[in-house]
Structure 1
Amino acid sequence: MTKIAKGQSTIKTKKCLIAQAMFLALSCSSSLVYAAEQEKHSNEFEVIEVTSQKRVQNVMKVPITVGTISADTLEESSSILLSDVDKFIPGFDFGDNSMTQSGISMRGISSPNISSGGDPSSATFYDGVYMPRAAQNVLFSDIERIEVLKGPQGTLFGRNAAMGVVNILPRKPTEDFEGFIKGSWGTDNLARYEGMVNVPLSQSVYLRANMLTNSQDGFVKNISEPQWNQNSKIWDSGARHHNAARVALLWEVSGDTEFQFSIDLDDLEQAPPLSIGLSQYAYNGGKTPFAGEVENDVRDGVESRDMYGVTAKLDHQFNDELSMKYLISYRDWETINRQDDDGTGDITRSFSTSNNEDSSILYTELQFNYVNKKFNAVAGFSYSKEDVAQQTELNVTADTITRLTTGELNNVIRGSFAQELAAAIGGNSDAHAQGAFGPGATFDGVVEQLYQGSGFPLDHIWNSDEWAGALNALGFADPIMAAIGMGGMPLSGAIVSATGDLTYDIVSQQLGIAEIFGPSYSGQFWQENIINTGDFTNWGLYFDVDYAITEKWHVLGGVRYSKDTKDFSWTIPETTFVAQRPGVGNQLFPMVDITASDSWGKVTGRLVTNYELTDDQMIFASYSTGYKSGGFDSLVPINQAAGGKAFAPEDSANLEFGYKAVLNKSLSANISIYNTQLDNFQISIDSKQPGSPTAVPSIINENREVRGLEIDLRWLATDELSFGIVSDFRKTDVERPSFYDANGDLRAAENSSFDASANYTAMIDWAHDFDFGLIGLHADYVYVENTNDQSANLTDFQLAVKEYFYDKKDINMRLSWTSGSEALEAGLWVRNLTDERYIEGIGGLTANVLGTPYGRINRGREVGLDFKYNF
């Protein structure tokens, strides 16, 4: 039994019991929040209300698979981002590689966020407002709860909800004066400060303001100090600095009407996404990805976002049956994501990108709700207009461009050897080679012997000895020596060095190739830009009704029509290097200036039935469809006049069966099985097109079928002890078209299957009310099966890194104390207790041409403490 300190009041007793139950819940995924009432003093669940169907409903009566994260769970797990809590929701994952280009994965379906002309497959809403790509990853400050809806949600949430919805709901202002201040400190100088105050300005007007600032040092020291970063900050990899604030004003106009106005601010400036070199040119030869040091020479590397949002909401109750909601919001953001894409400090392999965006969205929605004994209906209209302006920079040094030029020269030179050999032996077949050189000889083998015997291939033409040898072998040396007044003398590396750019300029003029230039350009930048603009509009009409056939048996049906229109443009100007070297041309992207436009319309719907077996048990079956608009690849221009097309919209259809129950007032169960058909899934791959010197992220369309099982079980074993487990099992069949991979090889169309993967989070929570306060202990074990080996796009450089295929196995714990008055709270926590290290992703845009793959790693063990004062 719970101990109650002598002399405590009834109110205090109730507070302690509620606090105890909340500690028991700690990090539960869930569908439930645990609470206990004073008179019960026993294991019991109190379910919470959600708005996942545009109605306020008991979550255990909602006939869809929905998981929720409560405010208490966020606090007790020290969570401030979606990537902190995805482990508590089966089938849900949120990537944290980048704050401005992160993405949701729902039931194994993730969305590319690199393209400003595309959209995610799972939608994110914040305070009822749709959040586009770079805006969706927000800090959790004073959040009421998070709802994760799985399966197509096109009927009620519209476009880009083909696989699900994440609905983030901040707290509303209330009539009570309250507030808190909180501080957290931990590994790598973590410093997090949060505060909130709620003030009643009058009997009907309430103000709520909150802020959060989060900073942490990097965990990988960047030891690169290139000349171009002498006057700018060099971030250690993994460093974080993020601030957010919100002010909301609620006016209760009357007993039937309320109006809320809020302003959200977000300021991010931190280290670029991780880029740990895995090549022989990286720190320590790329053999120790967890060594704690890296060489990233990106110019002015940073990830930043300056964002604000303004939202107005009006709620009105016409009568007991009919109500209305209206909201309008405007959000604007500017982002920079300038990152290293080679993972080395090698100036001749330096390659970086920057995604710069200046965008905004206007979103508005009008909704009516009607409720009586038989019907619970909702109907509405939504409209959004998004203006996008994106600039993608590709920044390479002149040293790197010259390395690429060297590679092209090597190809030309080898081709010349092949032509001369073919002319000499009368053909280019193996038979001709055997006739001239004897049995076993091959034409390519002989060419390679001649090629290497003459000192080729060249590594870099700025190597003076290599350049001199090449000019001698190709017959350029004598004219060059004569031109500099040294006719008859051999050309040596010393002469090349002494004459600076002269030999390069002579060859450049003779061959008419401006891209051959000398080492005086070393350290200068060659930048190519893709500038995109977009004007996107979406509107939708929806209607959804829940009809009670009997008290226990309900049928739901809904339909929505969505219309999307997208106007998009690509402008690729000439390289900035032309100012230093007139005559050079773009090496990475051809110059274009074109526009494209397209529109898509779609009807989506759902049919659901649910039956209450008892007051505490329900089963449901649903068929629902979803939609994600088509779009344009920001990095791959299309010419509609020449037959180019936008990529196709995604269509999803999902059949699902579920069971929800609270058994014996101590065991909750949420179980669902599903089959999802996803047509034209827009997947981002690194693709090197014919004639392109390097791979770029590109969009292709796949068809997928996903079959899975999701389980969420919670057991309140005693007043003080609870257990929980969430798990998902999933198998995916893929129908993939042909495409060019990162190496430039054409991969044939194929059908494949991903083996069923098993992931789970197991939790245990204990709480006890001592005389000096409430002590709580939480622990969870997270297991995520690694399925990277099932990818059809695996490359040799990925296969060579064993850590890329490790399963995830993390243990997290928190010990907490709450004073009897609940005014003071403290916690001691650890994440990744056993210090497991993983490579969470591998990039390879330049792996095939520069030999420089790179990876992203986790931080490892983190330990910290926090302190909170409530008033």
Structure 2
Amino acid sequence: MKHAVRISLCASAMMAPWLLTTDAWGAQAETGPASMVDELVVTAQKRSETVQDIPAAITAVSGAVLQQRGVSQPEGLQFIVPSMQAGRLLGQTAITIRGVGLNQGSPGVAIHVDGVYQPRPSMGDLAQTDIARVEVLRGPQGTLYGRNANGGVVNFVTQDPTDRFEGYVLGSYASYDEGRLQGVLNVPVNERIRARLVLDSWRRDEGFVKNVLPGGQDVDRGRATSGRFKLAVDVTDDLALDLSATGLHSSGPTSYFTLSNKPSADAVAKNPYLATAIVPLQPRRISADDPIGADRSYAAAGAIITWKVAGLQVKSITGYQRLADQEQRDDDAINVNGLPVERWARSNTFTQEVNVAGSLGAVEVLVGAFYMRDTAYDKLHYNFPLGLSPLPAGSTLDFESFDYVTKSYAAFVDLTWHLTERAKLIGGLRYSEDRQSDVQRNFLTFGPAAPIDTCPLQRNEIQFHSTTPRVGAQYDVSDNSNLYATFSKGLKIGGFNPYDCNQVFKPEKVTSYEAGWKNKLLDGALLLNVGAFYYDYTDLQLNQVVGLVSKITNAAAARVVGAELESTWRPDPHWTLTGNLSLLKATYKDFVNLDTLTPALGAQDVSGNYLSNAPRVSANVGLTYDSEPIAFGGHVRTLLDVSYRSKIYFREFNTALDAQRAYVLLNASVIWFSADDKYQVRLFAQNLTNKNYIVRMSSSDNFGSRFVSWGAPRQVGVELKANF
């Protein structure tokens, strides 16, 4: 009953702008005229369009809104975007959209920064400062974005240099001794050259996760310093060059997890020292006794050339990225010296895209080609001071992938045919080819004895080919309303499991059927978009920890059915109400699997169970009020955000221990703007009710336990910003 009431309240809140339109104008005679909702121009389909004109489910959020809501990571973005889930585990951020995307290894939701593809999950939250907007496309984007866009795409678009000398300084301080200092300087060198520099320093010296051992190390804290330099050059009136360079270094005990249940009797029987372990089961508590730390360095460079010639726009997007990680982990997370781990990883990625856009009569055409070369090294070193059945005390185990090379090639075309002034046909096709090679070796050592190969040094090679189409139609019912329907396919690439021996997992595929209705009502004061979708989801990639091996395997198939609603309403210049609602049924169609935590049950038929990270109901309501000018100058903006998630499962077995129960989050901000808009003071409270909620989960049969990471606790703080 309580669950049904929550759903009813969420649905009522989402539909309020629509239901109130018949009576709203009587009230506005007293409150003043409505104001038009600002529409963002986006490049989600590699051309400039407003969100309302795009025949796809897309949410765009401006940088100003992100800053005012205090969103600096994808974990915060998920409460603004329908059907999106995000969370970190062992320092890696994973995003799912409509239940699709979560994975160790290649992300299933593609991340792009200024048009450059980010191949590693951990790159999704690096150096995302001075943002102009974020664009989130929901549903498979196999035609325009290709590989690993099964769940959708998140585009981070950073601020371009402007033709004004300007900048700002921003500083903040919040509970848990968290502080940020950021500065931006924009300089127009001359009429054709502009430059922009952003520097950012962040730290959190008190960990979100407390260690219950006396003198034990608290975790989920750290420091990061980043910077970005952008240079825009108008070479001629028709030729533009945009250059960028980004760097980041971060450190701290961020690569962690906590146990959410005590070791099983079977695990204790195999490893008796677990019987005396301290296992704190309260949220955000750990009893780790081995060192935890991470050191990350990231560097990126990009070049975008835009050339307008003969009625066409030719664009070249070149990117280079280098990432290096070094970690120390306590992989038992408890006060036994059972499983200290060290990991070293580094990668170099070069990407190149060229696309040409133009019109052939009534047909808009975009054609392009894409190339990527990614080289990665990964080594995981396990120590077993106490032994871990069946390995004796003092043994070690190493997994090493020396040279994992991925070469990706693609060609694509996207067409929009204007049949009439109101009717359009949409079509697109992408052909992709991936070639992968991997040199690996895994080995055991027992004291001073020579290593024993569990996977002798070898070279593995594989190729994947795919064709991902999109077709559809759009009809403008009026100048302010349009309907669309699309059929599309997406693919997430397969590969080699780095912690096994020449073990291949297949690509996963999504076939999507989607329809939507987009509306501007009340003379632009109300935006109301609704959509529905059906996915046929095959060869799902799932991650399981079996013994000491983390493996990606393919499940049989799943079905995802859902509906979404987004609305923004400005009844007058003071009030803005935003809302979204997502209803989702994401279930396995045919899947039998063994739960290594309960092997005595044998293989279980989990057909009909819910996919991980796919709540049946998720919703957000945001309320903003702008005051009249106040006595001492300026005005005040008050923001309130309420987010709801129904029960979320994190493992396919859908037991009570695999779930996070339904929860509500409340965030609030009060911002003072000076009369000349040069100064801002923001008081904020995130997770005001201090709700404890799990964002990621995995499991290990070594301890018979699930391990989890938690959402951020309540934080209150102040932020100051000075523009010049």
Q: Provide closer, same or farther for how the CA distance between residues 777 and 568 of structure 1 changes in structure 2, counting only shifts above 3 A.
A: same
Q: How far does residue 852 in structure 1 lie from its aligned partner after superposition?
A: 5.5
Deviates more, 1:717-726 or 1:199-208: 717-726
1:120-164: CA deviations, max 9, x gaps? 222111111110113232232111111111111111111111221
1:328-363: per-residue Cα shift (whole Å, max 9, x none)? 11111101243222121123xx21434421111100
Instruction: Sort the Cα spacing of 1:162 and 1:187 in 2 relative to 1 into closer, same or farther, 3 A.
Output: same
TM-score scaled to structure 1, two decimals? 0.73
Match of 1:328 in 2: 318
Alpha-carbon contact 2:543-2:550 (below 8 Å) kept = no
The amino acid across from 1:593 in the alignment is L
RMSD: 2.6
- Which of 561, 576, 586 aligns to 1:707? It is 561
Q: Which residue of 1 aligns with 2:514?
A: 656
Match of 2:537 among 678, 687, 695: 678
Partners of 2:533 and 2:81 in 1: CA distance: 16
Tell whether the 8 Å contact from 1:272 to 1:337 is kept in structure 2 after alignment.
Answer: no
Number of equivalent positions: 673
Paired position in structure 1 for 2:714: 861
Q: Distance in 1 between matches of 2:395 and 2:168?
A: 50
User: d(CA) in 1 for partners of 2:192 and 2:71?
Assistant: 33
Aligned to 2:36: 44
User: Aligned-pair distance for 1:182?
Assistant: 0.2
Q: Give the whole-Å Cα distance in 2 for the aligned partners of 1:683 and 1:356.
A: 24
Higher mean displacement: 149-158 or 695-704: 695-704
Conserved in 1, the CA contact under 8 Å of 2:277 and 2:334?
no
Q: Is 2:676 the counterpart of 1:793?
A: no
1:174 to partner: Cα distance: 1.6
Change (3 A) 1:680 1:205: same
Secondary structure class of the residue paired with 2:129: coil
**Contact 1:544/1:559 (8 A) holds in 2:** yes
The yes-or-no answer on 1:309 pairing with 2:304 is no
2:151 to 163, 166, 171: 163
Deviations 1:478-523 (A, max 9, x none): xxxxxxxxxxxxxxxxxxxxxxxxxxxxxxxxxxxxx4x7xxxxxx
Once the 2 structures are TM-superposed, how far is the Cα of residue 822 of structure 1 from its aligned partner?
0.4
For the pair shown, which has the larger CA radius of gyration, 1 or 2? Answer: 1
Instruction: Tell me, yes or no, if the aligned pair for 2:78 and 2:86 is still in contact at 8 Å.
Output: yes
Partner residue, 1:298:
290
Structure-1 residue corresponding to 2:73: 81
Q: Which amino acid counterpart does residue 539 of structure 2 have in structure 1?
A: N
TM-score by length of 2: 0.88
Decide whether aligned partners of structure 1 residues 260 and 555 sit closer, same or farther in structure 2, where only a CA change above 3 A counts. same
Counterpart of 2:36, as a letter, is E
Aligned residue type for 2:262: S
Conserved 8 A contact 1:63-1:620: yes
In the alignment, which residue of structure 1 is the partner of 2:584? 730
Alignment partner, residue 230 of structure 2: 248
Deviation at 1:823, TM superposition (A): 0.4
1:742 counterpart = 2:601: no
Q: Is the 8 A contact 1:182 1:195 kept in 2?
A: yes
Residue 393 of structure 1: how far off its partner (Å):
2.1
Q: What are the superposed Cα offsets for residues 369-397 of structure 1, whole Å, 9 maximum, x if unpaired? A: 10366222111111000001111222322
Shift in Å at residue 857 of structure 1? Answer: 2.8
Q: Give the superposition deviation at 1:725.
A: 1.4
Q: Confirm or deny: 8 A CA contact 1:322 1:369 kept in the other structure.
A: yes
Find the counterpart in structure 2 of residue 760 from structure 1.
619
Q: Is contact 1:98–1:273 with CA below 8 Å preserved after alignment?
A: yes
Q: Which residue of 2 aligns with 1:279?
A: 262
Query: Does the aligned pair in 1 maintain the 2:609–2:654 contact within 8 Å?
Result: no
The answer to which structure has the higher strand fraction is 2
C-alpha deviation, 1:758, in angstroms = 0.8
Counterpart Cα distance in 1 of 2:228 and 2:577: 35
Post-superposition offset of 1:538: 0.6
SS of 1:188's partner is coil
Cα deviation, residue 287, structure 1: 4.9
Contact 1:235 1:270 in 2 (8 A): no
What amino acid sits opposite 2:314 in the alignment?
M
Q: Mark the CA change 1:659 to 1:283 in structure 2 (over 3 Å): closer, same or farther.
A: farther
Instruction: Return the match for 1:54 from 43, 46, 50.
Output: 46
- Whether contact under 8 Å (1:685, 1:700) holds in the other structure is no
Q: CA deviation at 1:184?
A: 0.8
How many angstroms does 1:400 deviate by?
A: 3.1
Q: Is the Cα contact below 8 Å between 2:258 and 2:709 reproduced in 1?
A: yes
- Are 1:612 and 2:476 an aligned pair? yes
**Which residue of the partner structure matches residue 592 of structure 1?**
456
Checking the alignment, whether the CA contact within 8 Å between 1:252 and 1:259 is kept in structure 2 is: yes
Q: Which residue of 1 aligns with 2:640?
A: 779
Distance in 2 (alpha carbons) for counterparts of 1:853 and 1:152: 31
Aligned to 2:500: 636
Partner of 1:212: 200
* 8 A Cα contact 2:41 2:51, kept in partner: yes
Matches within 5 A, 1:414-813: 515=392, 526-575=396-445, 577-579=446-448, 582=449, 590-638=454-502, 646-664=504-522, 665-688=524-547, 694=548, 696-743=550-597, 745=599, 746-748=602-604, 750-754=606-610, 757-771=616-630, 772-788=633-649, 791-793=651-653, 798=657, 805-813=660-668
Contact 2:127 2:227 in 1 (8 A): no
SS in 2 for 1:60: helix
Distance 2:198 2:539 in 1: 42
TM-superposed CA distance for 1:702, in Å, is: 3.2
Q: Tell me the distance in 2 between the aligned counterparts of 1:171 and 1:371.
A: 29
Name the counterpart of 1:469: none
How far off its partner does 1:794 sit?
A: 5.3
Deviation at 1:293? 5.3
- Whether the 8 Å contact between 1:530 and 1:572 is mirrored in structure 2 is yes
Shift of 1:736: 4.8
Aligned residue among 393, 396, 399 for 2:381: 393
Query: Residue type of the partner of 1:531?
Result: S
8 Å contact 2:74–2:124 — kept in the other structure?
A: no
Q: Report the CA distance shift for 1:715/1:215 in structure 2 as closer, same or farther (over 3 A).
A: same
Q: Residue type of the partner of 1:621?
A: A
Percent identity reads 21
Determine the structure 2 residue equivalent to 1:20.
none
Instruction: Name the counterpart of 2:114.
Output: 127
SS of alignment partner, residue 447 of structure 2: helix
Return closer, same or farther for 1:634/1:698 CA change in 2, 3 Å cut-off: same
1:276/1:289 contact within 8 Å kept:
no
The answer to whether the aligner puts 1:831 opposite 2:686 as a matched pair is: yes
CA distance in 2, matches of 1:757, 1:252: 49
- Per mean C-alpha deviation after superposition, the further-off stretch among 74-83 and 174-183 is 74-83
Deviations 1:56-98 (A, max 9, x none): 1121111011111111111101221111211101011221334
Q: 1:736 to 1:270 in 2, by over 3 A?
A: farther
CA distance in 2, matches of 1:262, 1:147: 20
SS in 2 for 1:46: coil
Report if the CA contact (8 A) 2:672-2:680 is conserved.
yes
Counterpart of 1:869 in structure 2: which amino acid?
A
**Aligned letter for 1:141?**
T
Residue 176 of structure 2 aligns to a residue in which SS? helix
Q: Which has the higher helix share?
A: 1
Q: Does 1:139 align with 2:124?
A: no
Residue aligning to 2:177: 189
Shift of 1:648: 1.5
Contact 1:544-1:558 at 8 Å conserved across structures:
yes
- Tell whether the 8 Å contact from 2:87 to 2:696 is kept in structure 1 after alignment: no
* Counterpart amino acid of residue 558 in structure 2: R
> Matched residues in 2 for 1:170 and 1:595: separation?
40
Structure 2, unmatched stretches of 5+, are 1-16, 18-31, 264-273
Measure, in 2, the Cα distance between the counterparts of 1:276 and 1:675. 36
2:377·2:403 contact (CA, 8 Å) conserved in 1?
yes
Kept in 1: contact 2:609–2:652 (CA 8 A): no
Match of 1:461 in 2: none
